[in-house]
Amino acid sequence: MTMDLNFLLAGGAIAIAAVCLIAVYQEKKRCNEKQEAAETAAYHVRQACETRAEELKTELKSEFKSAIESLEAGLRGPERALAEGRMDRSTRSEALRLLRSGIAPETAAATLGMPKHDLVLLSKVSNMLMAR
């Protein structure tokens, strides 16, 4: 009888050990699944960040290109004005004569076919020099 009891106890211990091993295996499996889910989420977040970074880089390149083109165009403006001769002596003296007669710079610009901002600047410079 003691032998049967020993076999039963040994069999029970084996059964308990088997149940414990199954529980440990299942817990390990749940942990692995959670880890895989976390790694997948991290991967997707990383991909989204990289995509957004590329979008921002493209956007900034476009803005820089636009700003550079604008600055280059601004630098070409005075060169074009000199090359076209749009403000030679006779044009400037005619513009000053019109401005001194009391005509608004906008009107004088239209009369002479010149950009308004050129006549506004000429008017301001002329007024400053006359104020001295």
pLDDT per position as a tens digit, 27-37 = 999 999 999 99
pLDDT at 90: 81
In a domain, 61, yes or no: no
In a domain, 79, yes or no: no
Report d(CA 89, CA 77) in Å as an integer. 19
Report the b/e string of 15-32 with b at 16+ CB within 10 A: eeeeeeeeeeeeeeeeee
In a domain, 129, yes or no: yes
In a domain, 44, yes or no: no
Number of domains present in the structure of the chain: 1
User: Is the pLDDT at 9 greater than 80, yes or no?
Assistant: no
- Which band of pLDDT confidence, cut at 50, 70 and 90, is reported for residue 130? confident
In a domain, 43, yes or no: no
In a domain, 99, yes or no: yes
Per-residue CA distances from 59 to 49, 51, 62, 70 (Å): 15, 12, 5, 16
List the one residue out of 85, 97, 87 whose CA is nearest residue 117: 87
Question: What is the residue range of 114's domain?
Answer: 87-132
In a domain, 75, yes or no: no
